[in-house]
Structure 1
Amino acid sequence: MQGTPIESVKSGIRQLHRDLLGDPQAIESAYLSVLTFSNAAQQAVPLTEVAMFNPPDLQASGQTNFGDGLRLLLECFDREIVRTTADQKGDWRPLVFVLSDGAPTDVDWPVYAQQLRERRPANIIAVACGDQADTEVLKQITEIVIQMQDMSPDAFKAFFRFVSASVKQTSAKVGAVADGGSITLPPPPPGITIVP
């Protein structure tokens, strides 16, 4: 994503943060993290409670190393999510949004996609941004794939309102969904469709 789309994503993350700061339940239970992938993947912001989160200044460049992004996502789950054991209550199942506007440029991604599908460490929503996004690749990591054809600033605003509503809804139901259970998302805004 370059130009207007990446600027819209940055603006959307800032708006998401402001929205969550206004929700007492989200402040108590939600954490945010941002991962990016281009030539290589990096964690722009580690898992951080909403009140302490600082939206990153994202830059778009390079290729689409999807496999490295999925590998890093799996590592972050292992490193940052507390698992439930006989001695401790762990974290609730994360809600993850994976945005892509193209197709992988690496060959390793199917290995990590399969690990994500087998482990099911989170509720993952894949977002195909624009008409160049490969929805078949995104279906390899999750059953929930949504398509956002319009990549205008207004479309990204609507999308991030949907993300905010999803996080708030999930935060409000913490404890009602079993550790390995799935969540119910709010309806997507106009212009965003669920890929069958």
Structure 2
Amino acid sequence: MRRLPVYFLLDTSGSMNGEPIQALNNALSGMINSLRSDAQASETLWISIITFNSTVTELVPLTELPAFQLPEITDPIGATFTGKALELLHSKASTDIKKGNANQKGDWKPLLFLITDGKPSDTMLYSEMIPKIKALNFGVIVGCAVGQLADDSKLKELTDNVVHLATADTSTLKQFFKWVSDTIEHGNKSMGTTDTVALPPPPQEVVQVI
């Protein structure tokens, strides 16, 4: 069975402290439970989570959905090293993703979701990594800016698919990750018929940035 790799890059800098980080944990858990109810996703979906603040951590390596265990994200602290997060993603995805050859088909095009409530603290590295990430040929890259301090323009440098959430409260993040789940399931079912993943209409809590 060909795999659909999905990567999440999650901002856990100091500004996520308090309700936002708890809301993020709850919303992620709900998304995983929703995906597990889809039989096809359970067969093909592999998920990785990378968190970033002043340090970057591969919280969960690329893991098949039935075996996926979501650890609680705690202690948000420090700056927003988005560039370092993209650097680790590039390193991991370059080795994680199976290429096709004459004898077997490779993985489906991976999906990437980057969620941040700020702007990169390492802007030079962030800019350097953008063409390298694009060269990995993701099926879709979604950038999600959360709150007033998030920089839509920086995410626009990475992808045309940028959405903005007004707040990081439980209800808003729950609706966002429900939309993410719908996107993944849609992508999973359309693989093999299209090269890119069309995003479903977002809920009212999710504003697409044009």
Residue 2, structure 1, aligned to residue 25, structure 2: no
Which of 141, 150, 155 is residue 167 of structure 2 equivalent to? 150
Give the corresponding residue for 2:59: 44
1:122 is displaced (CA, Å) by 4.3
3-state DSSP of counterpart to 2:113: strand
Q: TM-score, normalised by structure 2?
A: 0.87
Within a 5 Å distance, the mapping from 1:1-196 to structure 2 comes to: 1-59=16-74, 60-106=76-122, 107-177=124-194, 181-196=195-210
RMSD over equivalenced CA pairs, Å: 1.3
Equivalent residue letter for 1:92: W
* Structure 1 gaps, min length 5: none
User: Structure 2 vs 1, CA of residues 122 and 70 (structure 1 numbering), >3 Å: closer, same or farther?
Assistant: farther
1:37 is displaced (CA, Å) by 0.8
Q: TM-score, normalised by structure 1?
A: 0.93
Cα distance in 2 between the residues matched to 1:118 and 1:31:
21
Give the corresponding residue for 2:13: none
3-state DSSP of counterpart to 1:108: helix
1:86 is displaced (CA, Å) by 2.8
Q: In the TM superposition, what whole-angstrom CA distance separates every residue of 1:15-40 from its partner, at most 9, and x where no partner exists?
A: 11111111101111111110011112
Cα distance in 1 between the residues matched to 2:136 and 2:190:
23
Aligned identity (percent) is: 31
3-state DSSP of counterpart to 2:157: coil
1:88 is displaced (CA, Å) by 2.3
Moved over 2 A (4+): 85-88, 117-122
1:150 is displaced (CA, Å) by 2.5
Equivalent residue letter for 1:184: A
Equivalent residue letter for 2:97: I
If asked which structure has higher relative contact order (CA below 8 Å, sep 6+), I would say 2
Equivalent residue letter for 2:172: A
Aligned residues: 193
Cα distance in 2 between the residues matched to 1:52 and 1:119:
26
1:190 is displaced (CA, Å) by 0.6
